[in-house]
Amino acid sequence: MRSKFLGIGITLFLFLVLELVVRFTGIHYLEQPEIFFVNLKKNFVESGKGDAEVLVLGDSRSMALAGYAKQDGIEYSVYNHSLPAMGPKYYRFFLDKYLKKGNAKPKMVLFAASPKLYATGYGPPLYDPDAKSVKENESLFAYMNRRWHEGIEKNFFRTPTPTNIISYSGKQEDANQILWEFFGHRYLHQFTFSELSEQYSGIERLYILSKATPLLYESYRFHGAIRNSLSQTNWKVDKNYKERSLFCESCENVEAGLCKPASSQLEDNLTIEDQISRHFGKYNISNRLKPELVLFSKELIRKELDAELANPQPYVYHNPDFVVLKDLIEYTRSRGIQFGMVYMPWMKERQESKESKDLLADLKTFFRENPEAELFFFPDSSYPSDRFVDNIHYDCRGEKRVNEEFRNYVLPQVFRFLHSKEKSN
């Protein structure tokens, strides 16, 4: 019996030592790039050192936009806090956290997300994506009562086949649930347990906290880093990694295959940190891809576009739900922050489709009805398809173009808008 307790005690002691080591060292630098990126942005927000006057929020496409310190031609400092897609709900909570952590209140929030994140509402609840009818902040009793009746209907009456079932890896699952499985870890890494508890209520709070509970242990939160730390290769860092980081800002070098991620996880993440720091939040994730993979992906996109043009589907337009924009405008107004949105360029074939044109018309109407906010445009919202590596992300030359136009065309509009608001106050 004594030996059994001794074994348990030794195990708990070793776990405690591991937990303390992980908690008080920078082991997240050995994590996979995506987890490292999200935690890097989280740590920046929690440091309270943010002082940008224009804060960019968006998704993985707008991550390609560079921020700027004040300089000639840049009247207001700009920082890009865009994160890989985490759904549309987190933006208000992110801003609230940014302010509560002691970062300087920005003069303006510049929203740069894709249509799926601002024109389709908040989407289904995380805990029950196939629910037929769900009220926001559904109580536990209401959830159980609803599911009981839906279960009776499903078992005794014929119900429509779900339209959002997709197949992957031999499985068939609900598309919304797959989105959570793919992107939920970003949300859990960006916010603390207590912050998540404040963001949700009812049954959805129970769901999200059940997912967040294991991450209370840093040894679980960064288990990938612990695994990577066991390989000596992941600890090696070329002392000239910053020079290589600069070298890889040339599209010629990227396209020549000279800029593949370092084999060392530590060096790879230090390079990511260097680029994000130097460009005030910018990181174009497609520059990490092998040239042959980029070429293959572009060919797939071209075939997909050609097939759509040759065999157009019947067009059905669904009225947009701009509640995400509405809530962001109300939130920023209540805190004395200006709100603007920049309409990000997309591939020509998609941007000039009837659906995109109808959505843009509705978006312009929305901003006319909210004159305190402003909608900004690039000189051309339609880019050639070969400036994208997939349906979302710019290739290296697409990123260079979007940043040149962002600095020389979009930001002057933003700064004039801010000047006019400051004069009127």
Could you tell me where the beta strands, DSSP code E, fall in 157-284? 165-168, 171-174
Give pLDDT tens digits for 89-139: 899 999 999 999 999 999 999 999 999 899 999 877 766 655 555 556 677
Residue 377: partners with Cβ closer than 8 Å, 6 or more residues away: 342, 343, 410
Q: What is the mean pLDDT of each run of 10 residues along the chain (425 residues)?
A: 76 86 90 95 96 96 96 92 89 96 97 93 70 62 75 50 42 50 84 94 86 93 95 96 96 94 96 97 93 92 90 89 96 97 96 95 98 97 95 96 98 96 81
Residue 265: Cβ within 10 Å count: 25
> What's the CA gap between 218 and 30, in Å, rounded?
13
> What's the CA gap between 389 and 356, in Å, rounded?
20
Would you state the pLDDT for residue 136? Answer: 62
What the chain holds in terms of domains, given with CATH numbers, is: 26-120+223-424 (3.40.50), 123-216 (no CATH)
Q: Please state the pTM of the whole predicted model.
A: 0.88
Instruction: Find residue 80's DSSP bridge partners.
Output: 56
Give the tokens for residue 343.
């309409």
- The CA–CA distances, whole Å, from 413 to 75, 409, 418, 420, 422 equal 12, 7, 9, 11, 14
> What's the CA gap between 390 and 305, in Å, rounded?
11
> What's the CA gap between 159 and 351, in Å, rounded?
36
Would you state the pLDDT for residue 152? Answer: 53
Reading phi first (left if > 0) and then psi (alpha if -120 to 50, else beta), residue 393 is in: beta
Instruction: Find residue 394's DSSP bridge partners.
Output: 388
Give the tokens for residue 184.
């939920």
Give pLDDT tens digits for 19-52: 888 888 889 999 999 999 999 999 999 999 999 9
Residue 207: partners with Cβ closer than 8 Å, 6 or more residues away: 125, 126, 127, 200
